[in-house]
Amino acid sequence: MTAPAARRGWFAPLNAPIREWSGRRVWIVGASSGIGEALALELARRGARLALSARGRERLEAVCAACDAAAWPAHHTDPPAAALALALDLSRVDELERARDQLLAAWGGVDLVVFNAGTYRPLRAWELSAQAVRETLETNLVGTMSATAAVLPTLLAQGHGAIALVGSVAGYGGLPKATVYGPSKAALINFAEVLHLDLSQRGIGVFLIDPGFVATPLTAQNDFAMPALQTPAQAAAAIVDGFARGDFEIHFPKRFTRVLKLLQLLPRRLYFALIRRATGL
């Protein structure tokens, strides 16, 4: 291999870039609000075929209707099929598998699955409870891993497609009030890395999405100033840009996420001192 070719190999995208969305079959799990809703609307405007999942059917159907309306201007003569509403509770494997089967019956396959469903409860260590641990891990980790297991056979049989897991910068290192949420996202980051190692050789893309603070119903629980806070629309735009580059990790906003990455290089004594000073906790 020549030197220029070797350099191209080292700096080549870790996933096949996704730049063309027209007709692409996308299933977003966790699409009834926040980042999932904004991403669905953005992809609808770009002509993607959408299947949307969440627990609340009424809200889910409202988002599907909004996606249909957003898609219409770009398809005056050939409107896309209506977005599919597949209500499910990610912690229930039977509901997940039923939704998967409905989607495959309608589409015959899937090109991208985005696992965005998650829950968050701000907790200090002395507020920890077994119930909080179970509820958070069931949705953020166990549910997402089980859902991945449910869709992987289809992607492997196709020989193409991609999975996107929505983690969080809270998974980079210990942060106050993320007593259960942070570890659940840290495990999800590790899971995404393992998936990429295994699946990239099989033609399956794996994207890890690590947002900073985004204004959603979950972060509305926070009683502290959230640095570099973004809107869901800004988050969706950053995610689509990351897909277009073929990034493995799509993290944003960079001015915030890069600082958190650098903090992980520090000795723990200094890390703890800086986090306490920054948060005031």
Give CA 148 to chain center in angstroms: 12
Choose the catalytic residue: 120, 172, 181, 271: 181
Q: Is 181 in the active site?
A: yes
- Phi then psi for 23, rounded to 5 degrees? 80, -5
d(CA 100, CA 237): 27
The catalytic site residues sit at 181
